[in-house]
A and B are shown apart, each in its own frame.
Chain A
């Protein structure tokens, strides 16, 4: 149990375009999901907390108009990187909080390359 999927697993896009990443909890309902970014050889950076049916909470320094988060159902959260630039190239990972506890289960991640 506690499986989280992400789609796509990797994506290459041109500068200025937008990219949507989906995060799904497959066998449990997640009222809270999280989005992280990780650059090579660096630690996880929390970008935002996504709550089902309400607005996401962004960490300091993360542009909410650039990184659009939607958590429309208990099993799906999406992250849209708008007007992507090469500096947005990174490994984006979502996680979902298991109900009743504090455990977060991570998706496999999406590797974004902006050319």
Chain B
């Protein structure tokens, strides 16, 4: 069973702070990693993809990958109330194109 684990939260951070979202995965053969944002009642929206160890930055978002520890994280700098949503970690292995999704972490940014 290929597991993708996330803390369900809610994670509450004040506006302007850094939000740190974490994800672990069980399949060591996993190659591709994605973060999606899902607002209540809406479909997921791709935020970041990361394929190699290290950091990848895109605007206020930074994805971090550590394959040895089977750990991927998402940092959101200068958090805004509009960032309040559920963040889904998704992992793709070598067996196909399907993604394994975590259950998501609920983030609440308070003004």
Contacts and interface: CB of A to CB of B under 8 A. Distances in A.
Interface residues of A, number: 18
Nearest to B6: A43
B17 interface: no
Given A43-B101, A43-B104, A44-B88, A93 B46 contact: no
A43 B104 CA distance: 7
Contacts of A108: 42-43
Interface string A98-111: 00011111111100
A32 B98 CA distance: 9
Contact of A106 (B31, B44, B97): B44
Interface string A24-63: 0000000010100000000110100100000000000000
Contacts of A2: 46
Contacts of A102: 31-32, 34, 49, 92, 97, 99
Contacts, number: 47
A44 B49 contact: no
B97 A97 contact: yes
B96 A49 contact: yes
A103 B101 contact: no
B103 to A, nearest CB: 4
A24 to B, nearest CB: 14
Chain B, interface residues (CB within 8 Å), range: 20 to 34
A34 B92 CA distance: 14
Contacts of A109: 42-43
Interface in A1-25: 2
Nearest to B99: A104
B55 to A, nearest CB: 19
Given A93-B44, A106-B43, 5 more contacts: A49-B97, A102-B34, A104-B46, A106-B45, A108-B43
Nearest 5 CB-CB pairings of A with B: A102-B32, A109-B43, A43-B103, A106-B43, A102-B92
28 contacts: A2-B46, A32-B97, A43-B102, A43-B103, A44-B88, A44-B101, A46-B98, A46-B101, A49-B96, A49-B97, A49-B98, A97-B97, A101-B32, A102-B31, A102-B34, A102-B49, A102-B92, A102-B97, A102-B99, A103-B34, A103-B46, A103-B49, A104-B46, A104-B99, A105-B46, A106-B43, A109-B42, A109-B43
